[in-house]
Structure 1
Amino acid sequence: MIDRIAIAGYRSLRDVVLPLGQLTLVTGPNGSGKSSLYRGLRLLADVAQGGVVRSLAAEGGLESTLWAGPEAFGRAMKTGEHPVQGTVRKHPVHLRLGFAGNDHGYAIDLGLPTPGASPFGHDPEIKVEAVWTGGRLANRNLIAERRGPMVRVRRQDDGTWRTSFEQLSSFDSMMTHCADPVDGLELLTLRERMRGWRFYDQLRTDRDAPARRAQVGTFTPVLAGDGSDVAAAIRTIQAIGDGGALDDTIADAFDGATIDGGAELRMRQPGLLRPLGAAELSDGTLRYILLAAALLSPRPPELMVLNEPESSLHPSLLAPLARLLRLAAQRSQIVVVSHAERLVSALSDGWGTETIRLSKELGETVAEEVAAPAWEWPVR
């Protein structure tokens, strides 16, 4: 399980280290930094797919995603005695992302490109990467590191270092280019774990949503990011997953209703003489079914992150959704980003949920009453 994440220099996240539990709820008012935290986690997952530089470019480039405030706030700035203003930098410009658990940790440091080094002069460069064992980075537990274009990996048999790359491109991660089953086995394992993380923030329920159309009813243990294969995913859960849990969660939310998958999603409700097709379902009903298909996957991921799952849901569905999330958290680590107070209250009520409340101070995202876990960034 991941027990801490660290993000520095990304949008309003000047420098945050946050604890994660088996079920973590991130909440706060609009503009507090919830979406930035979610995007930061997605960027970490993009590293394992080889797409972190491309993802930053899609957000407008490194310059538009960097923390826009001063490198640090002096006491007089915080008290209002002096206006907030730029100061002489003590460190290079960074955008840093990392996570760690009891077994392994990983961090990446992206910076401004070297002038004239590439025709793509606005692309960020990967300056430093590190993989270590245990929760906190130290020289003794470092197992792989990248500095500029050079990557070295510690051998498993005798603990000595070997150079894996001498001229790794600035846009390529060592996670995608240096993982191998001999000396880079731990990199390979960690990369595959990161590739298995799932994110859901684009489950479509509009009139033209793919989930409302007939589908190819093939084996689908993992719901697509937009929910387009929900009927096949439901049928797969019923065939090889926990069909009883699916029946219970639908009946819990919709007063005894049942659903069936295959080529087309159908719902049977007490009192109706025929089942309703996906095109007839309300946005909220369809969205809840999509969430059930994602959370009850017969191939549960190590980590699943949901951004504002309450969208389109009637308030009466938030308590059943909280019960569904708790059930899913018994099989996967779940992070939920939400500002729906009913959902926040239901998830925070006596189950051991790790609740992180974000707010803004001088444009900087801070976590209220949260003890930051120990963290060390790799140095350039």
Structure 2
Amino acid sequence: MPFASVTHLNLVAFKSFRDEVLPLDDLTLLIGRNSAGKSNALDGLEVLARLAEGEDLIDALDGRRRELGPVRGGSEGCAPHGMDSFTLGCRVKSGDEVLKYTVQIEVRPDIRIIAESLHGWGVAVASGARSYGPIFETRRAGAPGTGIEAEIHNGKQGPNPLLRFRDSRLLLTQIPLVVSSSNRAERSVHAAVTTVQSVLRGVFHFDPIPHLMREFVKGRDVELRRTGENLSPALRNLQASDPEAFAHIEQLVRLIADDGVREISFVNSDLGDVMLALQESRGADEGAAERTPAREMSDGLLRFIGIATALLSPRNGLDIDAEVASPASLSESRSANGILIVLEELENGLHPSQAHRVLELVRESSKTAGTSVLITTHSPALLDAAEGSLNENIIVCHRDPETGHSRLTPITELPGYAVALAEGSLGTAVTTGKLTSAVTHEPDYAEFQRLLGLS
């Protein structure tokens, strides 16, 4: 069975973006200078993921009841400067069919939904065939506190029925609770809505914090959380559930640590808590070994082990809850739901010489069925390691010199791409600013053409 996945993030009006699209492949690299807008793009994905969990807008965006706190800048920070609302959306591919979802959220004077829609497959007609069109669309929002009406597709001739919903949380999460599943059209609506909701809930933004990984953690806490604080039991669980993946991490640690690492082990407390440790050889005596617990490991090594664990864990090894579809909607669904792992500044704490290893690990994970990976990086070494077949998956985030808005451009479409690579490596071209500066200047292709024998 194919996996449903997010293929595009639509940043219609969000923070520094206006009408920009971030394409998402099995593996996507997002690069750009500081303050270009990379984090804003990731924030857009995080906002959709949080809202898809069904919380009230203020709880999801302002962190009133969230362990991880508000999204960066809170709800008001999501709206572009001078605007009182923001608009986000995504495109989800499920088998051969596509769903397009959009939501507009007002942040001042009240935080509420003012427009929301889902278009695409799942619109069943009497013959049982599928057609394309709106699955649900809201009417114009009324006064704050009055809710919002939406037209729900029912597969019949004439106007679709209007239902009223709360405007304090996504209709995407309310419709399965309100619309019955008594006929094919309603089941198709359920399938479409729950597919989008599940895929968004499958976004796993992993931001490992090394100092949180250095303590004993309850042995039963095995689903890896977004901060990596429970890395020790999560990795021990991976050792039991997937010995091959665990052995792979162990081998990578030996290559990266340069300290005679023999194996990864675990220290147990009397209360059943667990802490990651390394068994290391010391000196010329290969029989002598020392144990280095997590509290003595470097930030870079802990961060790498956390990233490797996130990438090689199966979906039930991560702290996500993407399975929200009802049995009725599952019967209409043509795809299982994939996950998207987001890793910011992948190279942090790693020596440049290890770039190819960490990138190869990311490549392997992105080839796993149902798993996509989105990473940001500033590392020239990582870009050089990606050079070649991955170039088409590299997106450059840059500022429009006239408007100041953030733009997203595939690196292969930048006007300076050919000449920059003719003069050196991809990493060098990015660090010297040749690619981003070439966005606004017509490049000279003479050298590139000469190398190809065209002049």
Query: TM above 0.5, one fold?
Result: yes
CA contact (8 A) 1:132 1:144 kept: no
Q: Equivalent residue for 1:179?
A: 176
CA contact (8 A) 1:38 1:337 kept: no
Identity of aligned residues (%): 24
What SS does the aligned partner of 2:49 have?
helix
Q: Equivalent residue for 1:303?
A: 340
Within the alignment, does 1:236 sit opposite 2:241 as a pair? no
Q: 1:328 aligns with which of 365, 373, 397?
A: 365
Q: Equivalent residue for 2:353?
A: 316
Segments of structure 1 that go 5 or more residues without pairing to the other structure are 72-91, 115-120, 373-380
1:366 and 1:348 map into 2 onto residues whose CA distance is: 22
Q: Equivalent residue for 1:82?
A: none
RMSD: 3.0
1:307 and 1:29 map into 2 onto residues whose CA distance is: 14
- Indicate the structure (1 or 2) with the bigger Cα radius of gyration: 2
Amino acid at match of 2:10: A
Q: Equivalent residue for 1:68?
A: 81
Cα distance change of structure 1 residues 352 and 249 upon mapping to structure 2, 3 Å threshold: farther
Q: 1:341 aligns with which of 380, 386, 392?
A: 380
Amino acid at match of 1:356: I
Within the alignment, does 1:281 sit opposite 2:297 as a pair? yes
What SS does the aligned partner of 1:237 have?
helix
Q: Equivalent residue for 2:97?
A: 103
What SS does the aligned partner of 1:251 have?
helix
Within the alignment, does 1:367 sit opposite 2:408 as a pair? yes
Within the alignment, does 1:27 sit opposite 2:26 as a pair? no
CA contact (8 A) 2:279 2:290 kept: yes
2:79 and 2:306 map into 1 onto residues whose CA distance is: 34
Matches within 5 A, 1:75-114: 94-101=86-93, 102-112=96-106
2:247 and 2:159 map into 1 onto residues whose CA distance is: 51
1:223 and 1:159 map into 2 onto residues whose CA distance is: 49
Amino acid at match of 2:30: V
CA contact (8 A) 2:80 2:86 kept: no
Amino acid at match of 2:216: A
What SS does the aligned partner of 1:233 have?
helix
1:371 and 1:63 map into 2 onto residues whose CA distance is: 35
1:146 and 1:252 map into 2 onto residues whose CA distance is: 55
1:351 and 1:198 map into 2 onto residues whose CA distance is: 22
Q: CA deviation at 1:369?
A: 4.8
1:318 and 1:160 map into 2 onto residues whose CA distance is: 59
Instruction: Decide which structure has greater helix share.
Output: 2
Amino acid at match of 1:171: S
Matches within 5 A, 1:208-219: 209=212, 211-218=213-220
1:326 and 1:161 map into 2 onto residues whose CA distance is: 48
Q: Equivalent residue for 1:142?
A: 134
What SS does the aligned partner of 1:267 have?
strand
Q: CA deviation at 1:253?
A: 2.4
Q: 1:188 aligns with which of 191, 194, 203?
A: 194
1:305 and 1:159 map into 2 onto residues whose CA distance is: 43
- Aligned residues between the structures: 334
CA contact (8 A) 1:219 1:236 kept: no
CA contact (8 A) 1:113 1:125 kept: no
Within the alignment, does 1:253 sit opposite 2:260 as a pair? no
TM-score (norm 1): 0.78
Segments of structure 2 that go 5 or more residues without pairing to the other structure are 63-69, 123-130, 142-147, 269-273, 283-287, 317-337, 414-455
Q: CA deviation at 1:4?
A: 1.9
Q: Equivalent residue for 1:84?
A: none
Amino acid at match of 2:12: A
2:387 and 2:313 map into 1 onto residues whose CA distance is: 24
Q: CA deviation at 1:324?
A: 1.1
Within the alignment, does 1:205 sit opposite 2:210 as a pair? yes
Q: Equivalent residue for 2:128?
A: none
2:290 and 2:138 map into 1 onto residues whose CA distance is: 61
Q: CA deviation at 1:269?
A: 2.7
Q: CA deviation at 1:229?
A: 1.1
Q: CA deviation at 1:289?
A: 0.8
Q: Equivalent residue for 1:376?
A: none
CA contact (8 A) 1:61 1:122 kept: no
Q: Equivalent residue for 2:46?
A: 42
What SS does the aligned partner of 2:30 have?
strand
TM-score (norm 2): 0.66
2:264 and 2:132 map into 1 onto residues whose CA distance is: 54
Within the alignment, does 1:130 sit opposite 2:118 as a pair? yes
CA contact (8 A) 1:176 1:191 kept: yes
1:280 and 1:159 map into 2 onto residues whose CA distance is: 69
Superimposed CA distance per residue, residues 249-291 of structure 1 (whole angstroms, 9 cap, x where no aligned partner): 3233234633134711011233362221000101111111111
Cα distance change of structure 1 residues 38 and 279 upon mapping to structure 2, 3 Å threshold: same
